[in-house]
Amino acid sequence: MRYRGYEGFRLSPIWFLIILNLIVFIATLISPQLYLILGLRPASFFQQPWTVLTNLFVHAGFSHFLTNMITLFFFGTFLTKLIGENKLLITYFGGGILGNILFMFLSPPFVLAIGASGAVFALGGSLTVLVPKLRVFIFPIPVQIPLWIAVIGGFLILSFIPGIAWQAHLGGLAFGLVAGYIFKREQRYYYR
């Protein structure tokens, strides 16, 4: 007689990242000084090197948080099915960190950078290369558009909004495009 074993609850990397972002978001609402401890400021990077990573979990408000988490969920869920959890995490954190490095080199020294957008753009960049014909709905556009137009268009539109760290978005997007190209080549050789 066979019994199904209980495999237990398993938290996916996407949900782990969303929950961690939520915890940090709530913590910054309770204790706003956390922005200065966790946010990335080029001038204080050598005194607070952890901020190149921790700023990916800090958001400026509910709409900033919600937009990044919704995009993380949809891009991340689809990308995980294509490349797996480990490569997803490499893309997410690699894109976020490269975006932060670009931000440090291309922005004023005392500006504070927060948010997961660079990391999320990395996921979008990878998807753009891996599934270039994928069509998506983007609110409020009532028709499907190619993902690459949504990702590149989103980057361009956001780049002209004051106070947006376009440098981080650019670094994340660039990392994601290169990672997507590498993943696509690996898949091509793997299935031969």
pLDDT for 8: 63
Does any domain span residue 186? no
Does any domain span residue 79? yes
CB 183 within 8 A of CB 172: no
Does any domain span residue 192? no
pLDDT for 38: 98
Does any domain span residue 73? yes
Does any domain span residue 8? no
Does any domain span residue 187? no
Range of the domain at 45: 13-175
Does any domain span residue 4? no
Does any domain span residue 94? yes
Distance between CA atoms of residues 192 and 187, nearest Å: 9
pLDDT for 139: 76
Residue 189 pLDDT > 60: no
Per-residue pLDDT tens digits for 44-97: 999 999 999 999 999 999 999 999 999 999 999 999 999 999 999 999 999 999
Count of the separate structural domains present in the chain: 1
Per-residue pLDDT tens digits for 104-152: 999 999 999 999 999 999 999 999 999 988 988 887 788 899 999 999 9
CATH code at 135?
A: 1.20.1540.10
Give the count of beta carbons closer than 10 Å to the beta carbon of residue 126.
Answer: 31
Closest by alpha carbon to 87, among 183, 178, 11?
A: 183
Residue 2 pLDDT > 70: no
